[in-house]
Structure 1
Amino acid sequence: MKTKISGWLLKLQDYLGEFVYGGIDGAVTTFAVVSGAVGASLNNSVIIILGFANLLADGFAMSVGAYLSAKSVADNNKKLNKNKENLNVENEIDIHKIRQIYSGKGYEGLLLDAVANEVVSEKKQLIKSLDEEKARLIKPIKSPFKIGLITYISFISIGLIPLTVYVWDLIWEFPGHLFIWTSILTSFAFILIGFLKTYITETSRLKGILETLILGAIAATVAYFVGDLLEALIGG
């Protein structure tokens, strides 16, 4: 079953893609860092340090990238609109040039008018086609600043979830198995992001959730075994 945006999500739909994009990357990369650190048998303090360093630095880099990308699109839109205005001005000038050209070839009177009008008509049709193509290329303008900000907020808020249990344990001492509970909480984060992603891709909820869960699981598994392998090679 395909999902369409409705209800409270309508208010967020303009920037929902940025939220999902930032959330997926935040959860996946931070969980991968935690998994790699656990695989390398690092202590909890180091895991927290590595996790927050990744969270803040990678989140900032990602939001700056999103901002610059959106700004490039906005600048390109302005350039296309400016070119369109210039083309319209040139069109008015060309009408007189066309008459001069064909007048120099010996056309005059009604024949000159007919030839000039035919050339102008073809030119207008070409301009119309170019305008339609430009309208297709020009994307709806969204605030580059908001895009960067929402990407960063999403990256931080969702990416913080894999670190929650370790921070809890540092302050109050967590009663359960840290990595197992981290995996459970992060899975819920993946489910939430996967669910929201279906409103953008308009695919089934189950497919969107499973794709995100599998992506996170693969990244965490690779990071865990790489950490375990490096710990054995370097530490052993």
Structure 2
Amino acid sequence: MSDATHPVPHPGEPHPANGTGSRLNRLRAGVLGANDGIVSTAGVVVGVAATSTSIPVVATAGGAALLAGALSMAAGEYVSVSTQRDTERALLATERRELAEMPEAELDELTDIYAAKGLTPELAREVAVQLTRRDALAAHADAELHLDPDALTSPWEAAVASVVSFTVGGLLPMAAVLLAPAGLRIPLTFVAVVLALVLTGWGSARLGSAPTRRATVRTVLGGAIAMGVTYAIGSLLDVDV
């Protein structure tokens, strides 16, 4: 089972302990969801504020963007994670069948995996035997698939996390544009959004063990460009609603 569909870890390849990777993925998805909520909602409210000074108009446009974006994120996460979960279940079902039909071959395979990680052949065999006696499916799922059969990602958890994180992120530019004085509405919103994007860019990079400066600059530039474009379009329309 060492083909492309059933990945085998390379020697020395690190992977998270059972459940840890799933928690990190949910946390990273939450940070990125908040970032999306900030950027998309800010783009709408800044664009509308550039063409209208009416608070109800800006609030309605921002609220609609926030609701639509949160629901879209939730639906996308639910579908994506459901597909991932179906794939994981299929892989586990294949592993279960192979353990039932060819237990010796599977034991040899588990031995080879641990030997490839640097254990002596004798110790690798002993580890494989003991893990197989304890829980053969869990041993193979962890070593080959990096999965915990009892901790598969929940699509509902992902959907709810997306709604919450997107909404929290989107409320920031909404609050900034609605509470700021009319003359400072757009500048203060821009500053608030940039500061928030610095935080989400830094946070997503830290969670992904990536360089924080590059990720932060990229995130801030993307948000700034989005707000700049929508503001320019709103100004060009020059419609006072």
Q: TM-score range by the shorter chain?
A: 0.5 to 0.7
More helix per residue: 1 or 2?
1
CA contact (8 A) 2:66 2:170 kept: yes
| TM-score, structure 1 normalization | 0.68
CA distance, structure 2, for counterparts of residue 133 and residue 146 of structure 1: 22
**Count of residues paired in the alignment:** 190
Superposed, which structure 2 residues align to 1:40-79 within 5 Å?
Answer: 40-41=51-52, 43-79=54-90
Q: How far did residue 82 of structure 1 move?
A: 0.9
For residues 91 and 36 of structure 1, do their structure 2 counterparts lie closer, same or farther at Cα, with a shift above 3 Å needed?
A: same
The offset of 1:77, in angstroms, is 0.8
Confirm whether residue 209 of structure 1 aligns to residue 216 of structure 2.
yes
Tell me if structure 2 keeps the 8 A contact 1:41–1:228.
no
- Post-superposition offset of 1:36: 1.5
Task: Tell me the percent identity.
Answer: 24
Instruction: Give the drift of 1:138.
Output: 5.3
- Tell me, in whole angstroms, the C-alpha distance in 1 between the residues paired with 2:143 and 2:223: 39
SS at match of 1:177: helix
Matches within 5 A, 1:45-194: 45-91=56-102, 135-136=144-145, 141-168=152-179, 174=181, 177-194=184-201
Whole-Å separation in 2 of the counterparts to 1:211 and 1:224: 20
> Aligned residue for 2:231?
224
Q: For residues 191 and 184 of structure 2, what CA distance do their matches in structure 1 show? A: 11
Q: Give the Cα separation in 2 of the matches to 1:78 and 1:38.
A: 48
Q: Give unpaired runs (5+ residues) of structure 2.
A: 1-20, 114-139
Partner in structure 2 of residue 96 of structure 1? none
SS at 1:56's partner residue? Answer: helix
Which residue, out of 183, 193, 205, partners 1:198? 205
**With structure 2 as the length reference, what TM-score do the two structures score?**
0.67
Q: Give unmatched runs, 5+ long, in structure 1.
A: 1-9, 93-119
In structure 2, how many angstroms separate the alpha carbons of the residues matched to 1:60 and 1:23? 13
Query: Relative CO higher for 1 or 2, CA cutoff 8 Å, sep ≥ 6?
Result: 1
